[in-house]
Copies of this chain bind each other. A is one copy, B any other.
């Protein structure tokens, strides 16, 4: 059931040995002092990874979706307006979640393959003279299209518009793999998940929450209980937890951050760039192109490869799984069939990436796509062997 081959999905990612072991813990009494000794360093580490200088970190036994729900239900009231751009499956899902909670979502449509449309967002904020927009929702890395949005630019636009909305950022597939600067970018809530850059198993929603967002907590009237920040803040301040915590994942999170910091966060980001760049060169060598419209939009954690006219990316994904035991990602939503996705985040080396590229080539040949075997591999090899000055090895 479990293949020894690496996975190349944009999360959950390959899990390092050390994290596997850190997560696999015997039972611990979460009402004892031992829990605090486990919990506090994890939280402190998340603060460093997110680059928070104030505010709180919350860890929910949940997923990124739960993290979104926590973000909005703890800060907003039924009927509140939020502003969001739709340019991929995950931005779409967040919009849907807000609508289910009775929020008024002002949606800005953008092409799939582009990022958050900063100009349009700025325009919408400027037009919001009454200040009804309570929060701007942004997907930092749209996993469906392999597009990274410019959150620093978005913050600048919000500042230019002089609008006081909160800024909520979905960093599920970017945080801990690509630079993130919660304080510098003025992010009010950042949402991450355990199973991406943190290289953990799924099961933990990780949130950084600014004082401004915390201040909204008491007036927020959207109903919530499991995801209530207030319970979590109160319990954690007392060294506890409002219900049974995911002790293993919290232990693993500390270990993850230790690994990330041993490698160096900048080195981690550089490694992801390097791995991604090799993949992009392979894609070019194949005569194909990433879904991301321009180079500056290209994500360093996932590349959505636009398949040749008439081909179906999902066929490649299925074949890779069935014939070679390798997992790639299918296209989702508007780009279903039109792309296949190569995840290159988390614990991954250039050597592992090369096996993924080689597999993709075999599948393309099997499917009758125009491909010269070894061509993409060679382009990536050439790049990888010349770029190892950049720290390259994920710890294991």
Contacts and interface: CB of A to CB of B under 8 A. Distances in A.
Contacts of A201: 25, 27, 246-248
Given A66-B226, A248-B201, A29 B1 contact: no
A313 to B, nearest CB: 13
Q: Which of A16, A97, A359, A388 has the largest number of chain B CB atoms within 10 A?
A: A359
Interface range on chain A (Cβ under 8 Å from partner) = 35 or more
Given A62-B66, A228-B100, A373 B362 contact: no
Given A101-B225, A359-B354, A26 B32 contact: no
Interface of chain A: mostly helix, strand, loop or mixed:
loop
A239 to B, nearest CB: 13
Interface string A124-138: 000000000000000
A152 to B, nearest CB: 28
Interface string A292-308: 00000000000000000
A26 B11 contact: no
A102 interface: yes
Contacts of A14: 4, 26-27
Copies in the complex: 4
B244 A11 contact: yes
Nearest to A372: B378
Given A14-B27, A374-B374, A351 B246 contact: no
A61 B203 contact: yes
A7 interface: yes
Interface of A: 1-7, 9, 11-17, 20-21, 23-34, 37-38, 61-66, 68-69, 96-97, 100-102, 193, 195, 201-203, 222-228, 242-249, 321, 323-327, 329-330, 347-352, 354-355, 358-359, 361-362, 365-366, 372-375, 377-378, 381-382, 384-385, 388, 393-394, 396
9 contacts: A2-B28, A12-B27, A12-B30, A29-B321, A33-B321, A63-B244, A323-B388, A325-B393, A374-B377
Given A12-B247, A203-B248, 7 more contacts: A25-B201, A32-B321, A69-B226, A202-B247, A355-B358, A361-B381, A373-B378
